[in-house]
């Protein structure tokens, strides 16, 4: 439903900032909830518009305390058992991934991982591996020939990616990554 999606998007935006803080780029994120809604295809008024990115979230379900569960059971005694069981859990976002499709002129359809983040309290619990494997499986199920991503040189997650079988293309093939900012693009368009 819209409320749950909106709540997840707000939580996602907070975690985007947490990742930027970890990457020592606190001023990096410029996005708003509206940007994520529009670009992620969550806008109910424009369902035909294809999303620019795909989001994957790690949502941890936790049982509520016994007193809350009893109160909830009393209020929902006429509900079906499946509705009742879902009301006995609270959930919160513990991680996310943002990805999009790209294209390789050498190999074809590709999947690009922009961000993968797991909250610090949940690291080393297998959640990152679960999310990463889910993304790779999604890419293969959608006929992607490869799965690309960038990592900061100092980021300890490089060890995780190596352990998952990823190859560092800067070391192996000498690829370098370039970017034009919005201002640089505007300047080029003026001339």
pLDDT of residue 90: 78
Q: pTM of the entire structure?
A: 0.79
pLDDT tens-digit readout, 45-55: 666 678 899 99
pLDDT tens-digit readout, 115-127: 999 999 999 999 9
Pinpoint the residues of the chain covered by CATH 3.40.630.30. 2-149
pLDDT tens-digit readout, 27-74: 888 999 889 988 888 777 666 678 899 999 999 987 766 555 444 433
Provide CATH code, domain 2-149: 3.40.630.30
pLDDT of residue 77: 30
Convert the chain into a string of H (helix), E (strand) and C (coil).
CHHHHHHHHHHHHHHHHHHHHHCCCCCCCCCCHHHHHHHCCCCCCCCCCCCCCEEEEEEEEEECCHHHHHHHHHHCCCCCHHHHHHHCEEEEEEEEEEEEEEEECCCEEEEEEEEEEECHHHCCCCHHHHHHHHHHHHHHHCCCCEEEECCCCCCCHHHHHHHCCCCCHHHHHCCCCCCCCHHHHHHHHHC
């Amino acid at each position: 439903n819209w409320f749950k999606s909106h709540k997840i998007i707000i939580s996602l935006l907070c975690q985007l900032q947490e990742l930027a803080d970890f990457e020592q780029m606190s001023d990096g994120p410029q996005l708003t909830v509206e940007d994520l809604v529009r670009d992620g295809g969550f806008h109910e008024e424009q369902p035909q518009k294809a999303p620019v990115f795909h989001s994957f979230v790690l949502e941890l379900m936790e049982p509520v305390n016994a007193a809350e569960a009893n109160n909830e059971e009393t209020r929902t005694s006429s509900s079906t058992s499946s509705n009742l069981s879902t009301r006995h859990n609270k959930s919160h976002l513990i991680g996310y991934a943002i990805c999009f499709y790209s294209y390789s002129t050498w190999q074809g359809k590709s999947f690009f991982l922009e961000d993968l983040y797991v909250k610090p309290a949940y690291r080393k619990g297998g959640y990152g591996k679960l999310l990463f494997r889910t993304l790779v499986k999604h890419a293969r199920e959608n006929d992607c020939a490869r799965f690309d991503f960038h990592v900061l040189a100092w980021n300890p997650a490089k060890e995780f990616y190596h352990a998952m079988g990823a190859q560092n293309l800067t070391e192996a093939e000498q690829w370098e990554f370039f970017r034009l900012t919005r201002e640089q693009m505007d300047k080029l368009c003026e001339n």
